Amino acid sequence: MHPQISNKLRRVAPLLAAGLACAAVSTPTMAASNSVTAGVDLMANGEFPNVVASATVSPSQPATLQAGGITVQIPAGAFTTPVVFRLVENSNAYWQAKAPAGQTVLTNFAFVVKTESGQLVEAFKKPVLFSYTNPAVGPKSEYWNLTAQGKFAPNPIPPKITGDTLTHPIAGAVVGWAVTSPAPATTPATGLPLAPIMAGGAAAVALGAYLALRRPQEAR
C-alpha cells in the first residue's frame, strides 16, 4: 500500500470508530422512542394501585378522563393503535411520607396505557394535557416526577398555574407525578395551622375591646 494512503487511513480510522460508537449508542435511543415498550407497569408494582378513570382510546378520536380535580385531555393521533388508557393513583398519605420537607401533597397520579394485546405504551405520539384544580393550588405549587423507586424529582418543565388550576403536558408514561403546595405554618405546641389560630386570637381581642367599651356606657 502506498505510504500516503496508509497514513490517511490511520488518520481516518479513529473517526470511523467514533462514528460506529455513536451509531451503537443512538440505536437503543431510537428504539426507545417507539410507542410500544416493555417497561414498568406503575400499577402492578404497587406505587399506584387504584384505577380512578379508564377509557378505550381510538387513534383517530380525542378522549378526556376525569377524576376528582384531575382532567386528562388526550388528543387524536396520540396513539397509532387502540389503547386502554388508565389513570391510577395512590393515597396522598403514602406519598406525603416521601415528600420533600415543607411540601403538602395535593394529588398524585400515573398513567398505565396498554394495547389490546396487553403491551405497555410508554411514549405518546402527541402529548396529553394534564390539569388539576384545587383551592390549595397557587403560584408556589410544584409539579414533581415520582420515580418507580418511590422518589420525588423536580420536573424540568415548569407547570402553568392560572388561579387554582395547574396544567402540564405529558408525553409519556414512564414515571408518576405529584402536585404539592408549601405546607402552612404550624404552632410548635399543637402542630395546628397557625393562620386560623392567629385569626381566632385577633377576633377574641377585638371582641374583648368591644365589650370593654360597652360596659361603661351600659353603667350609665
217 lies in some domain: no
For the beta carbon of residue 218, count every other beta carbon within 10 angstroms: 7
Cβ atoms within 10 A of the Cβ of 168, count?
A: 19
Cβ neighbour number for residue 89 with a 10 Å cutoff? 23
Instruction: Count Cβ neighbours within 10 Å for each residue of 183-215 and write b for 16 or more, e otherwise.
Output: eeeeeeeeeeeeeeeeeeeeeeeeeeeeeeeee
Give SS3 for 74.
strand
The 10s digit of each residue's pLDDT in 89-98 is 999 999 999 9
pTM as predicted? 0.69
**Count of domains forming the chain:** 2
Does 147 have pLDDT greater than 60?
A: yes
Range name among 12-21, 26-35, 72-81 with the lowest pLDDT average? 26-35
List, for residues 154-164, the tens digit of each pLDDT value.
999 999 999 99
Closest CA to 59 of 76, 38, 39: 76
Identify the domain containing residue 6 by its residue range. 1-32
Contacts of 172 (CB under 8 A, 6+ apart): 122, 123, 124
CB 88 within 8 A of CB 42: yes
Domain co-membership, 143 together with 43:
yes
Whether 167 is covered by a domain: the verdict is yes
State whether 77 and 136 are in the same domain: yes
Which residues, at least 6 apart from 81, have a Cβ–Cβ distance to it below 8 Å?
59, 115, 116
CA-to-CA dists, residue 35 to 31, 81, 82, angstroms: 9, 10, 12
Nearest to 102 by CA among 173, 34, 186, 215: 186
Same domain, 146 and 73: yes
Residues 34-72: tens digit of each pLDDT: 345 456 788 877 899 999 999 999 999 999 999 999 999
Q: Which of 130, 50, 42 is nearest to 91 (CA)?
A: 50
> Does residue 100 share a domain with residue 19?
no
Residue with cell 422518589: 151
Closest-CA residue to 77 (of 60, 55, 63, 57): 60
- Cβ proximity of 49 and 112 under 8 Å: no
Q: Are 104 and 156 in the same domain?
A: yes
- What's the average model confidence in pLDDT over 138-144? 98
Do 60 and 142 lie in one domain? The reply is yes
**Whether pLDDT at 151 is above 80:** yes
